[in-house]
Amino acid sequence: MAEMILTVENIKKSFDGFVAVNEVSLSVKKGEICSIIGPNGAGKTTLFNLITGHIPADSGRVTFKGIDISKMPPHKICRLGMGRSFQRTNIFPRLTVFQNIQAALVAHRGMGLNFFKMVDSLFRQETVEILERVGLKEFSETMSGSLSYGYQKQLELGIALASNPELLLLDEPTAGMSAQETRQTIALIEKISREKGLTLLFTEHDMEVVFSIAERILVLHQGKLIAEGTPEEIKQNKEVQKVYLGEGR
C-alpha cells in the first residue's frame, strides 16, 4: 500500500443544525491526482476548509504526512507543506504580480518577522522562476487586481506554489473561466503537478476536466461520501448517475 499523504477520518461539521459534512473519511496517496465532485452545496468547500484549518471540525481527525492537524491553525498547516487555492480568486490585488509571489516566498521562508532587510531585493530569482512556470512573467509589474480573471487564477496557483507544497488543494480551479482558459489552466496544473511530483486534490464542476486528469474520484452528496473510484468506475456507478449526473445519462 502506497504512503498516504492525507487521511481524513469521520470528519463532521454542522452549521446551525445543518450538517454540511457528515462523517466523511477519505485518504489521498502520495503523488496522486484526486478529484472531489458533487452538486452545489454538497459540502466540497466546507470539507476543504476543514482540512486546511479554516473552520474547526465538530468531530473527526485529519492527518497530514502522519501529523495530526485537526486542531492546527491554517498558517501552521500551510507551513507543513499544504498549498491551497480558493474558489473565489484570492490574490493581493493592490500589489504587483511580482510582489504577490515574492510575499508568498517571504512568508514561506520564515522571513516575515525581519524588520530591516529590503524586501524588494529578496528572492527575485525564485519569483521569476515561479512567474515563468505559471506563464505570467510578462505581467510581473502589473497590478494583480487588474489582471483578467484567468490570469488571476494562474497567479493564485503561483502563490500556492511559492510555499513549495507537497499537497495542493484546488477549489474549483477553473470556475468562471471560458473554455479556452479552462483548457490552458488544466494543462498548466497537470504539467506542474507532474514536474514537481505534487499530490493534487481538487474540486471541480466541469466533468470533462475531472475525467481528463483525475486518477481517482470521490463523490460527495449532501455532506456524505457516496462513491469513490477510478473515472471509469464513477461513470458506471448507478447511485452517482442518479444523484449527480442526472438519471438520463
The residues that touch another protein, with contacts defined as CB under 8 A, are: 52, 54, 73-76, 78-79, 83-84, 86, 90-95, 98-99, 102-104, 106-108, 111-122, 124, 127-128, 140-141, 159, 162-163
Phi-psi domain of 39 (left: phi exceeds 0; alpha: psi -120 through 50; beta: other) = beta
3-state secondary structure (DSSP) of residue 61? strand
Q: Which is nearer to another protein, 86 or 202 (CB)?
A: 86
What string of DSSP letters covers 23-41? Answer: EEEEEEETT-EEEEE-STT
Shortest Å, Cβ 232 to another protein:
34
Task: Give 91 or 201: the residue with its C-beta nearer to another protein.
Answer: 91
Least CB distance from residue 115 to another protein, whole Å?
A: 5
Q: How far is the CB of 105 from another protein (least distance, A)?
A: 9
Among 69, 44, 71, 57, residue whose Cα is nearest residue 15 = 57
Sign, CA dihedral 99-148-77-31, equals negative
| Pick 64 or 244: Cβ nearer another protein | 64
17 CB contacts (<8 Å, ≥6 apart)? none
Least distance in angstroms from the C-beta of 226 to another protein: 29
Closer residue to another protein, CB minimum distance, 85 or 193: 85
Q: What does the block give as the cell for 167?
A: 499537497
